[in-house]
Amino acid sequence: MKKHLTLLPIFLVCFLMSSCQNQVKTTETVNENPHTHIKKSHTDVLKQEREQKERDEKKKLLEQAAFSAQQYDYQRAMTLLNQSNYSRDPEIKSTVQTYQNEQKNLVKWPDNGKISHLFFHSLVVDESRAFDGDYMDRGYKDYMVTIEEFKKILQQVYDRGYVLVNIQDIAKPDPKGNMVYQSIYLPQGKKPLVLSQDDVSYYEYMKNDGFAQNLTLDANTNVTNTYQDKTGKVVQGPYDMVPLVDAFVNLHPDFSYRGAKGIIALTGYNGVLGYRTSESSYGQNSDHPNPHLAEDRQKAKNVADEMKHNGWKFASHTWGHLNASQVSLNTLQRDTAKWRKEVEPIVGPVDTIIFAFGSDIGDWKPYSNDKFSYLRSQGFTYFCNVDASTVSWTQLGKNYFRQARINVDGLRMAEELAGKTKVLEPFFDVKLVYAPSRLK
Ligand SMILES: [Zn+2]
């Protein structure tokens, strides 16, 4: 018992000491503290943490700036660094200097009238299902490209120095509404190219034929595809152009001029991006009502928002896949109103129309007719047709820009292989791309 009593003061001292230490840990402002070593080490930890945080922030900042610089947007890269909290940091300053010098090496693209435009349809995921000898076999072989073909094409297009630009990078209206060429600055040897994809609706007729079923967002809100394979298993992954190009540009940022990707041309009658969003086709009073119409519209909008954020642009392909040269003005007006009612709320206002069937609203002479005036009044400034007779064809109108596109598909590749055209030659070697399954 006596022994315990003598131990008591020691316990008390220990207890007081430990409570005192706790106090030091929580209140840093105590200066007259006997346990200065504890305070010092704690301050050191805080300092180390702060320094680490600054190093991380700086690293992230430099990475962001480097990505912009690789996409030839040196101004953005330098602004990012100069306006940051680290603008006085020697490494940041020297990086700004490097970008200033690199920017001087860019050269202005000499002729915005000579810029090519390639377009694709939905890519074939499973050739054994698309090219299966049924009544759709020929159509798919003629108008589609397989994922394997597309990957090879993309790599070759990149290797040959092409860089994706937006059509808006080529020409834009000035404050008075007059269309003027914009300066495109690229390193010597690099060539601007516009990319587009038509009919990204994953139409009803394509079901079970080996194509993706929609564009969607994965768990990290990256744009990806849903695909149902032969066995019925549903998977997510890059099964069409958008996520494939996104991944390619992440790997090769210099394939994109200031973040440009491509134009997605949409009809409306089967909905958009694989969602059955059309009120007139899938509303309550329709033949095939979609009970999740509102929900699907929201899903499609979320995907479209993310795509725009990633550099994609949208265009009208007319609501009903109309042949614009053959239909009356009245039909074109009703169709455009439908597109604006059903598609615009999902993808936002667009300034580009990509005519279906490669048609157009006029011949090669500058536009001046009622259809043109009407489409201009509806906000369309960029007009695209199809012309694969030449590597590039454009027209800078007073208040519009028109560009011809080359269809990259089975028909064009077969012509190239047969020696009937050389229009694809500047972009890729068809022999190295053409899928053997096409010949079966
Ligand atoms: Zn089409």
50 CA distance to ligand 1 centroid (A)?
A: 56
DSSP 182: P
pLDDT, one tens digit per residue, over 66-96 is 999 999 999 999 999 999 999 999 999 999 9
Distance of CA 420 from the midpoint of ligand 1 (Å):
24
Q: Smallest Cα–Cα separation from 194: which of 40, 418, 408, 376? A: 408
| Alpha-carbon separation of residue 107 from 70, 140, 191, 260, 403 (angstroms) | 15, 41, 11, 18, 23
Q: Tokens 């006085």, residue?
A: 88
From ligand 1's centre to the CA of 267, what distance in Å? 8
pLDDT for res 27? 39
Domain range list for the chain:
1-34, 37-104, 115-439
Give 317 Cα–ligand 1 centroid separation in angstroms.
7
Is residue 32's pLDDT more than 70?
Answer: no
How far is 237 from 216, CA to CA, in rounded Å?
A: 9
The predicted pLDDT at position 337 comes to 98
Flag whether pLDDT at 33 surpasses 60. Answer: no
Residue 305: how many CB atoms within 10 A of its CB? Answer: 15
Q: What pLDDT was estimated at residue 35? A: 56
pLDDT-derived band at 34, boundaries 50, 70, 90: low
Q: Do 355 and 384 form a contact (C-beta atoms < 8 A)?
A: yes
Q: Which residues have C-beta within 8 Å of that of residue 344, sequence separation ≥ 6?
A: 350
- Report the CATH fold assignment for 115-439: TIM Barrel (3.20.20)
pLDDT at 150 over 90: yes
273 CA from centroid of ligand 1 (Å): 14
Expressed in angstroms and rounded, the spacing between residue 333 Cα and the centre of ligand 1 is 19
| Whether 39 contacts 61, CB under 8 Å | no
46: Cα within 13 Å, side-chain hemisphere? 9
H or E segment and range at residue 412? helix 410-417
What is the spatial distance between Cα 285 and Cα 279, in angstroms, rounded to a whole number?
A: 9
Burial class of residue 9, CB neighbours in 10 A (0-12, 13-18, 19+)? exposed
Euclidean distance between CA atoms 239 and 227, whole angstroms: 7
Q: What is the pTM of this model?
A: 0.89
> Which pLDDT score is estimated for 41?
82
Residue 199 alpha carbon to ligand 1 centre in Å: 5
CA–centroid distance, 202 to ligand 1, in Å, is: 12
| pLDDT of 174 strictly over 60 | yes
Pairing assessment for the beta strands 263-266 and 313-316 based on DSSP bridges: parallel
Choose among 196, 54, 231: nearest CA to 126: 231
Contact between 294 and 343 under an 8 Å Cβ cutoff? The reply is no
Measure 110 CA to ligand 1 centroid, in angstroms.
Answer: 32
d(CA 215, CA 250): 18
pLDDT of 430 > 90? The answer is yes
Alpha helices in 358-408 (DSSP H): 370-377
Distance 370 CA to ligand 1 centre (A): 23
The Cα 153–Cα 147 span in angstroms is: 10
Instruction: Pull the structure tokens for residue 97.
Output: 């200097």
Instruction: Phi first, then psi: give them for residue 377, nearest 5 degrees.
Output: -65, -20
39 confidence band (pLDDT: 50, 70, 90): low
Q: Two tokens at 41?
A: 């080490």
Q: Does the pLDDT at position 14 exceed 50?
A: no
Nearest Cα to 410, choosing from 387, 431, 438?
A: 438
Q: Running DSSP on this structure, what letter comes out for residue 89? A: S
Please report which confidence band the pLDDT of residue 37 belongs to, taking 50, 70 and 90 as the band edges: low
Question: Cα–chain-centroid distance for residue 373?
Answer: 30
Cβ 223 vs Cβ 305: under 8 Å: no
Q: Which one, of 139, 257, 158, 259, lies nearest residue 199 by Cα?
A: 139
- Distance between Cα 265 and ligand 1 center (Å): 8
Q: Provide the residue count of the chain.
A: 440
Ligand 1: centre distance to CA 266 (Å) = 8
- Ligand 1 centroid – CA 196 distance (Å): 11
